[in-house]
Amino acid sequence: MIWNEIYNCDCIEGMSRIDAGTVNLVFADPPFNIGYSYDIYHDKKDYKVYLDWSQKWFDEVWRVLKSDGTFWLAIGDEFAAELKVIATREVGFICRSWVIWYYTFGVNCKRKFTRSHVHLFHFIKDKENFTFNDTTIKIPSARQIIYNDKRANPNGRLPDDTWILRPQEINNEFTPDKDTWTINRVCGTFKEREGWHNCQMPEAVLERIIKVSSNPNDKVLDPFLGSGTTVVTAKKLNRQYSGFEISKEYFELCKKRLQKKQ
């Protein structure tokens, strides 16, 4: 397989072409199995079929990752608990963090609280040996920006495990000359919005993950390209990248998005 390329194929097939123990970071935002309308993928599989399929591609993620590699998984409420159990008890991953990404502009629901979060599982293979570049993602502390406390660490602090991604946390990703200052879901007013994928991940979320869990020139893999945010952000951060997308339409649009990113 050639790196810095993306492929139009099933993720399990694609990962089978990768040599074992060669990937530094995998980020996956798979179908949530909630009936979302994809062009060719059926997103409402039988419960057991979905879990069995999930373990199959988890197994491939484990195989391709280096011994000090990292696996980040984005998933919704419906299968978060089950997939965490499969990843840790069946496959062998260690859950280092269970992060909640609070995206502030929620999905309106009937007769329940508005949904405004996604689960981000931070999995590793070796609890003593993994990449965690804390200095690259530190943010200003409340002591610095609210209380002006002289005791505050001038280097800031690590983010909590609930990610709000306020303007002061994202290194001028949205500057005052832009019309959106906070990161929620990628909505119509966002400059980065591509407009052809309803589940587009914000680049700032991937930027935090890629910075903390990999180094320049490391290999970053996304088994479910979707809108292509992972590979676009990896390219911007000088990582080697690759990914798989089963939809021919999404694949071609991802290629165009990658070509635009210098």
Strand order in the sheet with 65-75: 5-7, 240-244, 219-222, 23-28, 65-75, 115-124, 94-107, 162-163
pLDDT for res 152: 76
| Residues 30-47 pLDDT 10s | 999 886 677 777 878 999
Q: pLDDT tens, 204-255? A: 889 999 999 999 999 999 999 988 999 999 999 999 999 999 999 999 988 9
- Bigger pLDDT: 185 or 259? 259
Count other C-beta atoms under 10 Å from residue 73's C-beta: 23
Q: What is the mean pLDDT of residues 85-101?
A: 96
Q: The tokens of 199 are what?
A: 């589940």
Q: Tokens 């676009």 label which residue? A: 232
How is the chain split into domains, by residue range?
5-260
Q: What is the pLDDT of residue 37?
A: 72
- C-alpha span between 207 and 237 (Å, rounded): 8
Tell me the chain's radius of gyration from C-alpha atoms: 18
Q: Does 58 have pLDDT greater than 90?
A: yes
116 or 5, higher pLDDT: 5
Confidence of residue 175 (pLDDT cuts 50, 70, 90): very low
Q: Quick one: average pLDDT of 72-77?
A: 95
Residue 140, pLDDT score = 79
> Which token pair is 121?
């599982």
Q: Could you tell me the pTM of the whole model?
A: 0.86
The pLDDT of residue 245: 95
Please choose, from the candidates 213, 201, 261, 218, the residue with its C-alpha nearest in 3D space to the C-alpha of residue 236.
261
Average pLDDT score over residue span 159-178: 62
> If you write DSSP's letter for every residue of 19-83 in order, what string do you get?
PTT-EEEEEE----SS--B-SS-BS---HHHHHHHHHHHHHHHHHHEEEEEEEEEEE-HHHHHHH
* pLDDT tens sequence across 130-145: 999 999 988 877 777 7
pLDDT attached to residue 235: 96
Residue listed under structure tokens 């005791």: 151
For residue 184 the two structure tokens come to 């929620």
Contact (CB, 8 A) for 13 and 56:
no
b/e 11-27 (16+ beta carbons within 10 angstroms → b)? beebbeebeeeebbbbb
Q: Pairing state of beta strands 94-107 and 115-124?
A: antiparallel
Higher-pLDDT residue of 167 and 111 is 111
Q: Is domain 5-260 in CATH 3.40.50.150, yes or no? A: yes
* pLDDT given for residue 147 in this prediction: 72
pLDDT at 176: 40
CA atoms within 13 A on the CB side of 24: 19
User: Which pLDDT band, with edges at 50, 70 and 90, does 181 fall under?
Assistant: very low
* Listed range (94-98, 126-130, 198-202) with the worst mean pLDDT: 198-202
What residue ranges in the chain does DSSP mark as E strands? Answer: 5-7, 23-28, 65-75, 94-107, 115-124, 162-163, 219-222, 240-244
